[in-house]
Amino acid sequence: MSRERKHASCPALLVAAPGSGQGKTLVTAAFVRRQRRLGRRVRVFKAGPDFLDPMVLEVASGQPVDNLDLRLLGVDGCARRLADAATGADLIVVEGVMGLHDGVPSSAELAAAFGLPVLLVIDAAAMAQTFGAVALGLASYRQEVALHGALANRVGGAAHAAMLRDALPPSVRWIGHLPACADAALPERHLGLVQAREIDDLERRIDAAADALRVDDTLPAAIRFEAPAAMPPRPMLRDVRIAVARDEAFSFIYPANVELLRELGAEIAFFSPLRDTALPPCDALWLPGGYPELHLAALAANAGMREAIIAHHAARRPMLAECGGMLYLCESLRDASGNGAPMVGVLPASATLGPRLAALGQQSVEFAAGELRGHTFHHSTLDTTLQPWRRAATANGVAGEAVYRVGALTASYVHFYFPSNPQAAAGLFR
């Protein structure tokens, strides 16, 4: 029997670039803030697995920012999120990931799947007529990807902007430009942007960029988004209370993961390993990724929290530790400068931050209830005598990250996307 289909229409744009580092997030934030000033209701998504950019875009839009990814969600899952957003929005903006055609799946594939016109953002700081060549190449590379137009970023002044505009061929529309404005730039560190909550003047930076943005505000035609209505998940976690670490050290949490756990019947209790000295009453524990290496002294000094987690583990209550959460459970953690500190110690391992990226990409793990998908992105390495309980696989089937099982603890560098397999996700907390 076919399920009822949900549909809604709304103009939409996908903001993309030739590659990473072109300034997509700041341009997207400025554009979204500008649209809000015009009285438009804007919903924002981030393409691909990402935690940091959505934090900034949430501040810019005033709305929660979810991820869209064809591999993690599938076409129907992405379509449902877009249709839900379209019912209450005047505009949907999707920030792409990496370069427009980079990755599997790429931002271009997402644009093609839903007919999202692409707003190209090109860092033109050191460009003149080549700006037009780059825009034309990206516009013509895949015929099924429609172009809304090109926007020049980090422009030197009015004369530079005019030169860039005139370099575009007639087939590529000039949308506008954002001047180079150092006071609006978003600070970065390893893994990407600095977390939104750590940028004290983030609102001012977004406003400054929105003030400086010179852009044609004409929106593309509305797109009809249609998808099968989602079947409500079985309450597999009814009466399960899950304590979730959330603070400056542990913040890599997909909003969709928390939403799914609640749909499965779980009660969520957030806590801070940095400041709280005890766990909230709970049946299961989730330590997500983040930046524990930036808070070594505070984490090491919080003996009460370490003892509470050790007691939780000794009682064989379920625990999931992802990436930074796994590092926190090691016996010791050393940052990239060589500074080390003792951690919780329930995982017989030591971890060390390195100067270069150790792993990047989408991976999945096969559990008893099937494949649970996610991604990995880290600079650290683990030294342990533990043998992997499972081994993740990359999208092309190559062996990936180790998954460790110690008692009721499941630990890995993989950041799981729970909606990719609700039953497997529920199994981690039962």
Residue 308 has pLDDT above 80, yes or no: yes
Do 293 and 335 contact (CB within 8 A), yes or no? yes
Q: What is the DSSP letter of 184?
A: G
Structural fold of domain 5-227 = Rossmann fold (3.40.50)
Mean pLDDT for 385-396 is: 92
Helices and strands: H and E segment counts in the chain: 12, 28
pLDDT at 319 over 90: yes
Smallest Cα–Cα separation from 309: which of 293, 326, 289? Answer: 326
What is the chain's mean pLDDT, rounded? 94
Number of C-alpha atoms within 13 angstroms, CB side, residue 5?
9
Residues 238-247 have a mean pLDDT of: 97
DSSP 255: H
Spans of all domains in the chain: 5-227, 241-427
Looking at the domain covering 241-427, what would its CATH class be? alpha beta
At 115-167, the pLDDT tens digits run: 999 999 999 999 999 999 999 999 999 999 999 999 999 999 999 999 999 99
Q: Judge residue 182's burial from the number of C-beta atoms within 10 Å of its C-beta, 0-12 exposed, 13-18 middle, 19 or more buried.
A: exposed
Q: Quick check: 395 pLDDT over 60?
A: yes
Here the tokens at position 163 are 């030169």
Q: Note the pLDDT tens digit of each residue in 82-121.
A: 999 999 999 999 999 999 999 889 999 999 999 999 999 9
pLDDT for the residue 357: 78
At residue 260 the predicted structure's pLDDT band, cuts being 50, 70 and 90, is very high
Nearest to 327 by CA among 335, 318, 337: 335
pLDDT for 41: 97
Catalytic residues: 323
Packing angle, helices 70-86 and 107-114, rounded to 10? 50
Percent of the chain with pLDDT over 70: 99
User: Collapsing DSSP states into helix, strand and coil, what is residue 5?
Assistant: strand
Answer yes or no: same fold for 5-227 and 241-427. Answer: yes
Cα-based distances in Å from 245 to 85, 177, 280, 287, 337: 28, 40, 10, 5, 26
CA distance 46 to 55: 10
Q: Is the pLDDT of residue 1 over 60?
A: no
Cα(365)–Cα(17) distance, integer angstroms:
31
Spatial separation of the C-alpha atoms in residues 180 and 335, rounded to whole Å: 33
